[in-house]
């Protein structure tokens, strides 16, 4: 698995409407593995493919409340394994393969290929959302409280699920990304411009610091 760079607002690629996946292939699964690893590394709960620069209709997600604690425990175990197997690369690769296999076996991660919302409730709910492409900013967004989703899973099998609570909010947030929308687009124009200016300023300061280093 590879941790990929996450693109951030105002990168114009985030306004791209992603294309459907023709077939869930090994390459698709490798991309989803990379996306999940990238999401965990950034301490997020959802990630759309366009956020790593791939304009395909793919989402990965893990909203389980304990995955961060699980990852911390796994990281500690992995560190001990690496010390014991310092001179044995094969052992390290085997430990990483076991960790990933156990993660998938727990069914905590979710994989959505070509997701389609086929029903939304009339009832709405406000939730304070954040986004890995809009770092450090959170605000309330109103969305339907429930929805029904049709999609292909990690193996390419068709699935349909009813979503409620955080799952409903998160899937709608990530579906927006597939349609070229970030959650800032749900806010007032004034607030949106304010956030973009702050992000641009932070990016300039980061570039200046790198140039001086």
Token pair listed for 35: 């996306």
C-alpha 32/C-alpha 113 separation (Å) is 9
Q: 160 forms bridges with which residues in the sheet?
A: 150
Q: How many CB atoms lie under 10 A from the CB of residue 139?
A: 16
User: Which CA distances in Å does 204 have to 189, 197, 198?
Assistant: 22, 11, 10
Radius of gyration, alpha carbons of the chain: 19
CB atoms inside a 10 Å sphere around CB 60: 27
Which residue matches tokens 């993660």? 103
Of 71, 74, 3, nearest in space to 34 by CA: 3
- Going from the C-alpha of 177 to that of each of 18, 46, 84, 148, the distances in angstroms are 8, 11, 43, 18
Active site (annotated) includes residue 69: no
Catalytic residue among 142, 174, 203, 205: 174
Residues catalogued as catalytic: 174
């Amino acid at each position: 698995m590879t941790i990929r760079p996450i693109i951030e607002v105002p990168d114009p690629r985030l306004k791209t409407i992603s294309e459907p996946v023709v077939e869930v292939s090994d390459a698709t699964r490798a991309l989803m593995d990379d996306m999940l690893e990238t999401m965990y590394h950034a301490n997020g709960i959802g990630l759309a493919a366009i956020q790593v620069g791939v304009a395909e209709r793919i989402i990965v997600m893990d909203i389980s409340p304990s995955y961060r604690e699980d990852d911390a425990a796994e990281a500690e175990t992995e560190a001990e394994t690496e010390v014991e197997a310092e001179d044995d690369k094969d052992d390290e690769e085997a430990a990483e393969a076991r960790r990933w296999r156990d993660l998938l076996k727990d069914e905590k991660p979710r994989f959505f290929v070509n997701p389609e919302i086929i029903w939304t409730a009339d009832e709405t709910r406000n939730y304070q959302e954040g986004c890995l492409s809009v770092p450090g900013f959170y605000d309330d967004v109103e969305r339907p409280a429930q929805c029904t989703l049709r999609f292909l899973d990690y193996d390419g099998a068709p699935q349909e699920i009813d979503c409620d609570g955080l799952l409903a909010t998160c899937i709608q947030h990530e579906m927006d990304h597939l349609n070229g929308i970030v959650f800032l687009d749900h806010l007032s124009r004034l607030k949106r411009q304010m956030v973009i200016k702050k992000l641009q300023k932070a990016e300039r300061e980061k570039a200046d610091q790198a140039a001086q280093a």
